[in-house]
Amino acid sequence: MKYQKDYASLQPKMYETKERIRKASRMYLLLKDYFSKYKIPLSELSVLDIGSSTGIIDNHLSRYFKSVTGIDIDKDAVVFAQKTFKQKNLKFKVDDAMKLSFPSNSFDIVICAQIYEHVPNAKKLMSEIYRVLKPNGVCYFAALNKFWPIEPHYNLPFLAWIPKKYAHHYLRLIRKGNHYYETIKTPQGLKKLCEKFTIIRYTGVILRNPQKYGFENQINSPLKRIFAFFISPISNYTAPTLFWILKKPIT
């Protein structure tokens, strides 16, 4: 597996301001909920966003946090972000998520939202996140679930379930690409990937109270809300995306 270094140019949704801001708001609401339990103001915390792409999410987050640094392997996306967003507490740079250029224990929060499946080695990614987090720091981890039958990058059924060599042919047949870069894991695989962290699971909490966490546009009817509530106890297996807070313990 190798990096897809031109991802944003192939995915127009990375430039869709409304949806990117909606995602940023969800991150803010969940992190606010977590840190409010410890009476820690977000305005005192530093953030690293891995896979920041065009910077729209980080620009929105910068109004709430002490500092936000966005990194991505996609040079064109980073240049766009640098030219577009100029807040003093906001920085963007080209960097490799598997070999971050920051010192150990640098950040209070690392955001890793639907990123693990894009990197050549997800284990190295998580080791680097662990390294740059301060003790007691947390990673906002939004992770695609392999048990969900529709592959969300291409909206194709069962794409993530079949061997890679056949997945490449599947994309070519449907004319949606030539190479399937992503590797999506099962919940058990994700748990093993994050074994160095303390895992706080938020998926079921979100399904039971979608409005509190900014998901009212997705769970937007009485029937959907009832369905979400009843599947929340088994959301680790049924949800398309798992939302976890990963805490770096003090050693």
Q: Domain boundaries in the chain?
A: 7-146+184-247, 151-182
CATH of domain 7-146+184-247: 3.40.50.150
The reported pTM is: 0.93
For residues 20 and 245, give the distance between their C-alpha atoms in angstroms, rounded to a whole number. Answer: 20
- Residue 115 pLDDT more than 90? yes
| Average of per-residue pLDDT across 36-56 | 97
Q: What is the pLDDT of residue 10?
A: 59
Band of residue 9 on the pLDDT scale cut at 50, 70, 90: low
Q: Could you say which DSSP state residue 195 is in?
A: T
Q: What is the DSSP string of 148-176?
A: SSEETTTTEETGGGS-HHHHHHHHHHHTS
Share of the chain above pLDDT 90, in %: 82
